[in-house]
Chain A
Amino acid sequence: MAIKILNILIVLFVPFLMLGVIKKTKAFWGGRYGASVFQPLYDFIKLMKKDFVISTTTSKVFRITPVIVIASVLFAALFVPLASSSAIVNIEAGFVVFAYILSFSKFFSLISAMDTGSSFEGMGASREACFTTIVEPAFFMLLASIMALSGNYTFDSLGKIIENAGGYGVLICIFAVLVLFIMILTEGSRVPVDDPATHLELTMIHEVMILDNSASDLALISWANGIKMLLLSSLIAAIVIPQGLPTGLSVLAYLALMFVISVIIGTIESATARIRMSHVFEFIFVMSSFALIVLSLVVARMFGG
């Protein structure tokens, strides 16, 4: 029980720290001190206190979307294994529920962006929708393969790759982590897919969709985006962190991994340029091809003798 409460707290607060660490890493590589790692949390509190500015061209869809987005992301969090435990709601095929609740929130972000009637936001929505269509099949292919391997269709099978896959285990783990990492970059709208720091509307993807959101709406959407990154990182944790560690150690390992992932994201953002928009698809297709590799490894293991 205690660990579940701890996990809920992690879902609520660690996303701010992850965003803070990413920013701090970028500041480090840029030769600056940078803001405190708690800055995203302060920004959240600041935004919650502010008054709304709402465009007169928008309808109710625009108003309810931020709540739907945060509610679905928090709901999705129930189905994901977090620090040192199984998912809070550990059901068979939980990953399908997880993926579609996230898609539900994305659907509302898309129509909310279109609701503003701005040409920028329409472009952003079209880009986001496009990328999602590539990300989703790869995600399903990856998880279905891993689960087929163990015959256990809950997220618990992520931790059992090594014991189920024998000689292929390490390879499957590596590719699975890579797939999930590219998914974090895409879904979390980070460089090289998107640039969260830009002020240029024409180049934005995620940021442009929330241009019209203000105050607590904006705070909730940014928070939800952080939580989404945390949830996907938790899947990496489920694969990487060995099972059977003492609870305390396992929680520490989980938090350390979140830190490492944030630092890696920050470093990538500092050292590479963003990919040209027309080439982003190729980058995301890398994810699909890695997922295919996992699938073929699983097939080889199960039927190859």
Chain B
Amino acid sequence: MNWIKTKNNTKVNLNEIPTLKIDELREEIISLNKRPIGFFGKDWGYGTTRLFVVLADDENGDLYVSSALFEQNEKEYESLTQVLPVFHIFEREFYEQFGIKPLNHPWLKPLRKNQKDYQFFEMEGEEVHQVAVGPIHAGVIEPGHFRFMCNGETVYHLEIMLGYQNRGVEELMVKHPTNQLAESICGDSVIAHNLAYSKVMETLKETKITKRAQLIRTLALEMERAAIHIGDLGAIAGDIAYLMGASVFGATRTLVINTMLEFSGSRFGRGLVTVGGVNFDIDNEKIERAIKTLTKVEKDVERMVKTMLKNTSVMSRLEKTGVVSQEKAREIGLVGMAARACGIILDSRFDFADECFKNLALPRKIFKGKGDVNARFQLRYQETMESLSIAKRILEMLKNGYREEVLTKNENLLCADSMAISITEGWRGEVVHIALTDGNSNLTRYKIKDPSFNNWYGLALAVRNNGVSDFPLCNKSFNLSYSGNDL
């Protein structure tokens, strides 16, 4: 067997993972043709590098793991991107981290480091002009450089150069793995990243957490989804100068994050999730208040969205702006909300459901979107309402039962020579954390994949042939993370 089959949050023995030659592995990947969620190297001693590949079979909820060993003098291989474009960003990352060159890669540019060597794509023509935006932007947002090739008002091509936020999180994680660090990977996906980290650690420590803790975690994840989606609905309204939407969504988002504040002492849920469960239990008084607040939020959001969808001036801005076709989305491997807006069925909450989510037995809603800003707007609305109703249901469950501890202490060492993969669906899409340990139970490699990593290129495609003045709107509809990408 050239692959080892495993599941989400399951430990794999490193020695059981097949080690192939890269050419063999390449053939295997092409013939299996599944979605990559991990493609990363690890220093394997004596100048060799081992490349791990994790592919996801979303329909069956299976993960396929394999690896290849590069000898000291093997510094190049035939790139996968030529055949499967979805690997483009993974191969760029692997090249940047280990210097092993994918030959014939069409877009082998720096990803996070060496931005001075970045060669921008150039266009020539009488009315072609370049617009350079950033890395410092108006407003309080993260740094990133955007280069537009425009003809008059039309964008022909956008290149996004990131890496300004590169903090070396993966290396830090190996040295000092903590929840606080996981929370800081991406400020708007605190719960998702922390959950992914905690689950990886629990898998490696073989900790079983209580049902109540699981429920609180799912509750927090759904509240995070609702809060960020509402905030972004407001930001979209603000970008098209629809003041009323911006005000109402801004106010309702505050209600959701203030509820989170009551639960955990932080509006973004910092410090709530920890390895072994959650740090805070929620008493019935808080639950009552939260249910009331969330019901009000549901009503306000529904009313405002319906008003906006009836407003022709709003709809003329949202419809047919920033379209990513389903075909293109599959080709470049969009994930999460952005992929679902193109009509792709992909949601790791369902595909790789954990025990708690399975027990909720939720119906899976299929969204038929056209991949434009309107689709992302409506999908965010739909997911907000869904998340709020899940949150309310969990609150009812917590109120009426599951009286148990929320934190399981476990002082076990990490399992030796193991790999653990954890997939969590954050509001933006799948957050993947993969940890490797050595024979002495120490972490030796920690791989993080934020959904922004896949989706930034989707934004570049979305603005093609749109007006340059519609870029902020497209950008807001994706709302990707700089720090999640830069790590």
Contacts and interface: CB of A to CB of B under 8 A. Distances in A.
The answer to whether A binds B is: yes
Interface of A: 26, 29-32, 119-120, 122-123, 127, 191-192, 195, 197-203, 269-279
Contacts of A127: 153
B103 interface: no
Nearest to B476: A200
A233 to B, nearest CB: 21
A30 B468 contact: no
Contacts of A195: 241
Interface stretch (B124-132, B356-364, B416-424, B451-459): B124-132
Contacts of A119: 129-132
Interface stretch (B46-54, B313-321, B437-445): B313-321
Nearest to A279: B316
B467 A278 contact: yes
Given A199-B138, A202-B133, A269-B243, A274 B472 contact: no
B471 interface: yes
28 contacts: A29-B243, A30-B243, A30-B244, A30-B247, A31-B248, A119-B132, A120-B131, A123-B468, A191-B241, A197-B243, A198-B239, A198-B241, A200-B239, A202-B472, A203-B469, A203-B470, A269-B243, A270-B243, A271-B244, A272-B311, A272-B313, A273-B240, A274-B317, A275-B313, A276-B316, A276-B470, A278-B153, A278-B467
Nearest to B308: A273
Interface residues of B, number: 31
Contact of A273 (B130, B313, B471): B313
B243 A32 contact: no
A48 B243 CA distance: 30
The 6 A-B pairs with the shortest beta carbon distances in the complex, nearest first, are A30-B247, A274-B241, A195-B241, A273-B240, A199-B138, A273-B242
Interface in B235-262: 237, 239-244, 246-248, 251
Nearest to A204: B469
A276 B472 CA distance: 12
Nearest to B139: A199
A123 B150 CA distance: 11
A272 B282 CA distance: 42
Interface of B: 129-133, 138-139, 153, 237, 239-244, 246-248, 251, 311, 313-314, 316-317, 321, 467-472
A269 B131 CA distance: 28
Contact of B471 (A32, A197, A202, A279): A202
A245 B244 CA distance: 40
Contacts, number: 84
Contact of A277 (B243, B313, B467): B467
A105 B247 CA distance: 36
B92 to A, nearest CB: 27
Nearest to B248: A31
Nearest to B251: A31
Contacts of A197: 241, 243
A270 B129 CA distance: 34
Contacts of B247: 30-32
Nearest to A120: B131
A29 B244 contact: yes
A201 B138 contact: yes
A272 B242 contact: yes
- Chain B interface, DSSP helix/strand/loop, else mixed: helix
Contact of B243 (A26, A120, A275): A26
A270 B245 CA distance: 9
Most chain A CB neighbours (cut-off 10 Å) among B241, B248, B311, B317: B241
Contacts of B241: 191-192, 195, 197-198, 269, 273-274
Contact of B314 (A202, A203, A273, A277): A273
Contact of A275 (B139, B316, B472): B316
A270 B242 CA distance: 6
Contacts of A29: 243-244
Contacts of B467: 276-278
Contacts of B133: 201-202
Given A31-B247, A200-B138, A274 B240 contact: yes
A31 B131 CA distance: 37
Nearest to B473: A203
Nearest to B467: A277
Contacts of A120: 131
Contacts of B132: 119
Nearest to A271: B244
Most buried by B among A269, A273, A276: A273
A275 B313 CA distance: 7
A122 B311 CA distance: 32
A119 B470 CA distance: 16
Contacts of B469: 202-203, 276-277
A274 B246 CA distance: 13
A201 B241 CA distance: 14
B268 to A, nearest CB: 23
Contact of B153 (A30, A32, A192, A277): A277
Contacts of B237: 273
Given A200-B138, A202-B469, A276 B317 contact: yes
B297 to A, nearest CB: 16
A278 B129 CA distance: 18
A90 to B, nearest CB: 39
A278 B467 CA distance: 7
A203 B131 CA distance: 13
B472 A273 contact: no
B183 to A, nearest CB: 28
B468 A273 contact: no
A192 B313 contact: yes
B316 A277 contact: no
Given A123-B468, A272-B311, A275-B317, 4 more contacts: A199-B139, A200-B472, A203-B239, A279-B316
A119 to B, nearest CB: 4
A202 B131 contact: yes
A303 B315 CA distance: 45
Contacts of A30: 243-244, 246-247
Nearest to B321: A276
A130 to B, nearest CB: 10
Nearest to A130: B153
B239 A277 contact: no
